Every structure is written in C-alpha cells, then in structure tokens.
C-alpha cells in the first residue's frame, strides 16, 4: 500500500504493510458467533491473524495451521 506522510520530524514515503487482526474476544471472529468455550477444539486457519486480548477458556485443543 503506497504511503506518504510525516513521521515525527522526518518524512515517510514508500510501502507500509497493513494487516487486519481479529480479536479473540469478539463474537464476529468465530463461525459459531461466540468465542470458544471450555473443552472446545479450536483451529486457526493459515494466514489468519488473531490477537489474544482476553483470558481463554480451558480448551481441549488449539490447532494453528
């Protein structure tokens, strides 16, 4: 993504990567409409970025592809 702008006292120009990160705690992150519950098996698909922004339930399995 091309970017130009001021950064502190310098000048920034060039490519700046921008990533979307889902929040673990948000219902919209999960196909079931709610974060995983105790005993759940959870798979995080390749290329998906999650921010673990809360304490998790006691999961049975966490699989990160």
How many domains does the structure of the chain reveal?
Answer: 1
Q: Is residue 16 situated within a structural domain?
A: no
Q: Is residue 11 situated within a structural domain?
A: no
Instruction: Say yes or no to pLDDT of 23 above 80.
Output: yes
C-beta separation of 38 from 57 below 8 A: yes
Identify the top-confidence range among 2-6, 14-18, 50-54. 50-54
Q: Is residue 41 situated within a structural domain?
A: yes
pTM of the model: 0.66
> Helix (H, G, I), strand (E, B), or coil: what is residue 65?
coil
Q: Is residue 9 situated within a structural domain?
A: no
Print the domain residue range for 62: 21-65
Q: Is residue 14 situated within a structural domain?
A: no
pLDDT single digits (tens) 25-64: 999 999 899 999 999 999 999 989 999 999 988 999 999 9
């Amino acid at each position: 993504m091309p970017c130009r702008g001021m950064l502190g006292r310098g000048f920034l120009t060039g490519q700046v990567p921008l990533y979307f990160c889902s929040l673990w705690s948000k219902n919209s992150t999960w196909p079931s409409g709610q974060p995983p519950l105790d005993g759940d098996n959870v798979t995080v698909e390749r290329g998906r970025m999650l921010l673990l922004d809360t304490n998790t339930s006691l999961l049975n399995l966490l699989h990160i592809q």
